[in-house]
Amino acid sequence: MLWFLILIFIIAIIFSYLLFAPFYFEINSITGLCGIRFHHLASAGLIFTDDSLKIDIRIAGWNKQTYWPAITEGKKEKPVIIKKKKKPLKISFSMVKAILNSFKVNKCYLTIDSGNMQLNGILYPFFYWISKRTHKTIEINFLDKNEIILEIENNFARILKAFIFHQFIYKNKNHGQLK
């Protein structure tokens, strides 16, 4: 009986860790990184270089790196396979909005140069206003420099909370009203 309680306790701890541990989406154009990281447990990243693609996967101490050279040949056509159409999943716009609002932006550094000096001058006040409104570094420059550093955080508990809130609370709020 004691072993069963210890097993249930360990499973509850693991489940709560997986529920509340944050995961991050990262984009960094300076280093060429595009990846996802689940706390310190697992991560996967794509690193773009001039002539190749590096895929880096880490899961609980296990590490695998794969290099893919740039494709210079034309793509071969694959035969078309006709699949049965599945019933589409009905997701409302308000549910997508609720789930997207559960994400938190940790880092945002965006600098853009369109290459056209007049267009940069027209866009400069708009980018200044966006930067002041969001309290993030969003700017337009005249130095032919385009960079983005973006880190977005979320966890499964916040997504589940947004989904449940939308399914039960939001639907009942509009009950009895004509659509």
Question: pLDDT digits over 77-97, tens only?
Answer: 666 677 777 777 677 888 889
One domain, residues 44 and 108 = no
> Is residue 161 in some structural domain?
yes
**Domain assignment of residue 80, yes or no:** no
Residues 56 and 97 in one domain: no
Q: What is the mean pLDDT of residues 38-66?
A: 86
Residue 145 lies in a domain: yes
Task: Tell me: do 128 and 168 sit in the same domain.
Answer: yes
Structure tokens at 41: 């447990």
The pLDDT of residue 41 = 85
Quote the distance between the C-alpha of residue 16 and its chain's center. Answer: 22
Beta carbons of 123 and 114 less than 8 angstroms apart? yes
Of 29, 53, 69, the one marking the end of a domain is 69
Between CA 102 and CA 109, with CA 104 as vertex, the angle to 5 degrees is: 145
Residues 103 and 143 in one domain: yes
Whether 102 and 169 map to the same domain: the answer is yes
Taking residues 37-55, report their average pLDDT.
85
Threshold 0.75, pTM exceeds: no
Residues 111, 143, single domain; the answer is yes
In whole angstroms, give the CA distance from residue 153 to residue 22: 6
- Same domain membership, residue 53 and residue 97: no
Residue whose C-alpha is closest to residue 3's, from 17, 37, 81, 11: 11
- Phi and psi (nearest 5°) for 4? -65, -40
pLDDT for res 78? 63
Number of domains present in the structure of the chain: 2
Q: Mean pLDDT across the chain, nearest whole number? A: 85
145-162 average pLDDT score: 93
Structural domain contains residue 9? no
Tens of pLDDT along 1-12? 888 999 999 999
Q: Give the model's pLDDT for residue 26.
A: 93
Q: Indicate whether 150 and 115 sit together in one domain.
A: yes
Residue range(s) defining the domain that contains residue 47: 21-69
Tell me if residue 109 falls in helix, strand or coil.
strand
Q: Are residues 52 and 97 in the same domain?
A: no
Query: Do 121 and 158 lie in a common domain?
Result: yes
**Mean pLDDT calculated for residue range 42-60:** 86
> Percent of the chain, pLDDT > 70?
87
In a domain, 128, yes or no: yes
